[in-house]
Chain A
Amino acid sequence: MRLSRGAKAVLGAITALVLLFIYTPLLLVVVNSFNADRTFGWPPKGFTLEWWGKAFDSPGVREAVISSLWVAVVSTIISLLLGTLLALSLQRYAFFGRDVINLLVILPIALPGVVTGIALNNMFTTILGVPLSLWTVVIAHATFCMVTVFNNVIARLRRMSGGLEEASADLGAGVFTTFNLVTFPQLRSALLAGGLLAFALSFDEIIVTTFTIGAGETTLPIWILQNLFRPNQAPVVNVVAVVLIVVSIVPIWLAQRLSGDSVRVSQARVKAPVR
């Protein structure tokens, strides 16, 4: 396929416009984090660093960030374990109910968050009678984060040949050794990509969290929701958002490098330039 220069220019322009569309509201957030006017009048009449100072001093923000990090890390670990087990079983074995389970793992993320939230809330509080806490949040998050790990790992497993594992068994390695020394290294980058996505999903989740969190606990999105309209805190929310975006560059870049490399390794594809 040969695209004319004009066509490429048009596509480039459209891409630039879409990226502009994506980033303008975020730039507004950045500007508002310096806006001297608490009510974010536009255009801003003055700038101040006051909100940045308040954000770093605020104990509420600190607690919320720590809780969010904890929940995200634990949910990611659980979903890494369960997602990998599930991907291995679904890709390698054919059994009755395989399609059903495939559908089941997608449901938590396909069904609306409010439905998942009230279902889990009802189960925890009414049926099981357990008090809500950060652990119930972790259970909820792990349930829908499983699918991101599952998708990444199963995609990788499909591209892996079974030959290496057979060879390993032929050489006398047991089941666990084969997994450790042969399968797992090939899966590593898929696990990392899936884990990062699961982490991001859990960190930013608000709807299901609202229904499964205990009364005294706060995660970052809950803190933001509580403070979104408060005149003294709304600017601090903007500061928090800016910090999140900036901090996120590192893991995203990392994930990109890893998934890019592994694609090259397993596909050995030569990229033919589209002239």
Chain B
Amino acid sequence: MAPRTRAFRVAGVVAAAALALSGCGTSGGSGSSPSAQATKTEIGAGEGQLSILGWPGYVEDGSNDPAVDWVHPFEKETQCKVSFKPFGTSDEAVTLMRTGQYDVVSASGDASLRLVAGQDVQPVNMSLLKNYPDIYPFLKDKAWNTVNGVNYGMPHGWGANLLMYSTDKVTPAPTSWSAVFDDAAKHAGKVTAYDSPIYIADAAVYLMAHKPELNIKNPYALDKDQLAAAVDLLKQQRTHIGEYWSDVVKEVQAFTSGSTVVGTTWQVGANIAAADGAKVATLVPDEGATGWSDTWMIGSKTKNPNCAYKWLDYIASPKVNAQVAEYFGESPANAKSCELTKDPNHCQTYHSGDEAYAKKIWYWTTPVADCLDGRKDVKCTDYSEWTKSWTEIKG
């Protein structure tokens, strides 16, 4: 056979194979909608293992600080052996949860609804969890953990994204987010910011106070012009940024070594930095802040539902919730935890029972095209546009 004909034959076979493969290359079906009711009626015996996907600091087993451990008591009590995977951003959480390899996830508001929409989590029968009645009422049945009246998880603590600065390098102490936006040039090369498209909302919060003519009412409801303004602000900020962070421990290392002096963080980052001898302080600046209100959710494909339910109940129990809230630096979800914190003023510092304060925080939510501030005359930008913008900002 002439070499040319042979070559064409081979090419044809390869092409056919590729096309055939394309037929089976889809992930997860658009199958039947889930039963929108929790089907579990009782918590049985533990299955012996549980894989948890969580924010760093939520699932401590003593390896970071020997005195901080609530995993081993859980394992002893329930015989469910825990394996924990931390993630840095809600995007990572959603992607990892979609692999179906994790039983439980601590989802912030910008992850939870995507997980429900993607059928990656299942409805939870709250009546089986004995700590649920003690949860603060303003955390229950919220838009990010309840869909069409069906609950999807146990509320966890909530808190704000704070501004952290090195007290010996940044003087006078900052009071406004301008330290990382308009005044960032003062510390050029040593500013940090959260490496996720959701950070665009932080820029929007800043613009709400400093450019009221843009008429931004909700930092997650940005139309094209408002998004463009936020993107411009972030592009300017980019020129002064040393590193973006998604791993809070890496951010702490940068602060401790002095390569970063100011930027956003979670309280747990400041706690770890202080434990390492870094001189840092945190605050909620004048303009307000974005934040998170987390929910522990159960994977729809989990093979360990009993252990999963046990974890949800355990992590919301007064003593453990107090431990997590103190270690991470957030407000607990269980009202009874306030009496059990080591620092008697913990709940006051974090405004735990203060519903009015809680309302002021702009909790992470996934931006969608139907404007979250209720506007019907314009289309808002959705998360995929934010993601594109974020790549553009980072250059």
A and B touch in the complex (CB under 8 A): yes
Q: Pick from B3, B51, B276: contact of A38, CB below 8 A.
A: B276
Any chain A CB within 8 A of the CB of B319?
Answer: no
B212 on interface, CB distance cutoff 8 Å: no
A215 in contact with B27 (CB, 8 Å): no
How many Cβ-Cβ contacts under 8 Å join chain A to chain B? 52
Taking a contact as CB atoms under 8 Å apart, the answer to whether B65 and A232 are in contact is yes
CB closest residue in chain A, given B251: A229
Chain B 33-69, CB within 8 Å of chain A: the 1/0 string? 0000000000000000001000000000001110000
A214 contacts partner chain B, Cβ-Cβ < 8 Å: yes
Selected from B6, B51, B247, B256, the residue in CB contact (under 8 A) with A39 is B256
Interface size class of B (residues with CB under 8 A): 20 to 34
Selected from A60, A216, A230, A231, the residue in CB contact (under 8 A) with B51 is A216
Binds A, one of B18-26, B328-336, B355-363: B18-26
In the complex, whether B10 has a CB less than 8 A from a CB of chain A is yes
CB atoms of A229 and B27 under 8 A apart: no
The 8 Å CB contact of B247, one of A215, A229, A232, is A229
User: B102's contact among A60, A215, A229, by CB below 8 Å, is which?
Assistant: A215
Chain B 226-250 near chain A by CB (<8 Å), digits 1 or 0? 0000000000000000000001011
Q: A39-B256, A214-B101, A215-B83 are in contact. Are A230 and B276 (CB under 8 A)?
A: no
Residues of A with C-beta under 8 A to B64: 230-232
A215–B101 CB distance below 8 A: yes
Quote the shortest CB–CB distance from B247 to chain A (angstroms).
Answer: 6
Known contacts A39-B257, A216-B83: does B25 contact A231 (CB below 8 Å)? no
Contact A215 B63 (CB under 8 A): no
Please judge, given known A-B contacts A126-B27, A131-B101, whether A39 and B253 are in contact too, CB under 8 Å: yes
In A111-135, the 8 Å CB interface with B consists of: 122, 125-127, 131-132
Q: Is residue A233 within 8 Å, beta carbon to beta carbon, of the partner chain? A: yes
User: How long is the Cα–Cα vector from A252 to B99 in the complex, in angstroms?
Assistant: 40
Choose among A39, A96, A131, A230 the residue that contacts B3 (Cβ–Cβ < 8 A).
A96
A40 neighbours in B (Cβ, 8 Å): 257
A229 x B99 contact (CB < 8 A):
no
**B277 in the interface, Cβ–Cβ < 8 Å?**
yes
Which single residue of chain A is at the shortest CB-CB distance from B101?
A215
Q: Is A97 an interface residue (CB 8 A)?
A: yes
Q: What separation, in Å, do the CA atoms of A216 and B6 have in the docked complex?
A: 47
Q: Nearest B residue to A228 by beta-carbon distance?
A: B250
- A231–B269 alpha-carbon span in the complex (Å): 12
Chain A residues closer than 8 Å to B272, beta-carbon distance:
231
Chain A residues within 8 Å of B252, by CB: 229, 231
Whether B63 pairs with A231 at a CB distance below 8 angstroms is: no
Closest 4 CB pairs of A and B: A215-B101, A229-B249, A229-B250, A39-B256
| Beyond A39-B277, A97-B10, A126-B26, 6 extra complex contacts between A and B, CB < 8 Å | A40-B257, A125-B27, A126-B25, A132-B99, A229-B247, A229-B252
**16 A-B pairs (CB sep. < 8 Å):** A38-B276, A96-B3, A97-B10, A122-B25, A126-B26, A127-B24, A131-B101, A215-B51, A215-B85, A229-B250, A229-B252, A230-B64, A231-B64, A231-B249, A231-B275, A232-B65
